[in-house]
Amino acid sequence: MAAGVSEAFGAIDWSAPWLAPWCGLGQPLAQQLLQDDPSVHQALQTAAPKGAPVVFVPQSALSEGTAYEQYIWDTRRVPTRDNLHDFFNGLVWLQFPHTKRRLNQLQAQAIATHGVQAVRGPLRDALTLFDENGAVLQAPEPIWQALRARNWQALFVDLRPLWNEARLLLFGHALLEKLVSPRKPMVAHVCQAPCAINLAAHLDAWLAQDIDTQRWAGKPFAPLPVLGVPGWWPANGDAAFYADPLVFRPPRRGDGG
């Protein structure tokens, strides 16, 4: 890889709390990229289990003018560049194959029906938003009530001890890429997982089944500034961290439903 690309992979802090669910899979692959210098698609393919729904191929496999999502659906091949964005996308494919395949299926169906247009439309827009910046939160109901209402004081200060009962998993590969260089305004678009499921063991199957076209077209996500999550950023131990209206924005009319 080029020197700048290698530096990007070397900059990943695998001790970051948001990377905890990805460390076991991602850190060895990042080390392989740094030490052995394969292409990203080659490194990802070495980690793919037998019978995986897709294979990783170089970006050059995607012909000019061919829709990316349609190509993946038709060929079961994921064009992959040598960068962090596609590296994290590959990790998500490896860890959540059913969910990624479901997202890809719906994208390809929309493209087949409507073609590639300047505006994606409500469903494709929601699918892309979650694919790039989504997260799944399993938490007690008071946390969800405060999050939907954008009551940041209640969410992060008053209910802070309750976060010990919550689990947040970042799904969006663009968000994971951006958090290699964390900044306070970074936001995840969060969907709710029921507390009854074992999130570690069954998240992929549950999430793939949860993606309902009609409901998701309405973007049933809650915006969550991820560095505000208790324990995820040292500065948020001070309640003043949340007194930043440019990041922790007050609710708008209609929020909280």
The CA distance from 27 to 238, in Å, is 31
Beta bridge partners of 129: none
Can you give the pTM of this predicted structure?
0.93
- Tens-of-pLDDT digits for all 257 residues of the chain? 555 677 899 999 999 999 999 999 999 999 999 998 789 999 999 999 999 999 999 999 999 989 999 999 999 999 999 999 999 999 999 999 999 999 999 999 988 887 666 567 889 999 999 999 999 999 999 999 999 999 999 999 999 999 999 999 999 999 999 999 999 999 999 999 998 888 777 999 999 999 989 999 999 999 999 999 999 999 999 999 999 999 999 887 655 44
- All structural domains of the chain with their residue ranges: 22-95, 130-242
DSSP H helical ranges for the chain: 3-10, 20-36, 40-47, 68-75, 84-95, 97-114, 122-133, 141-148, 152, 173-178, 199-210, 213-217
Q: Look at the alpha carbons of 214, 218, 222, 223 in this order and tell me if their dihedral is positive or negative.
A: positive
Q: What pLDDT does 257 receive?
A: 43
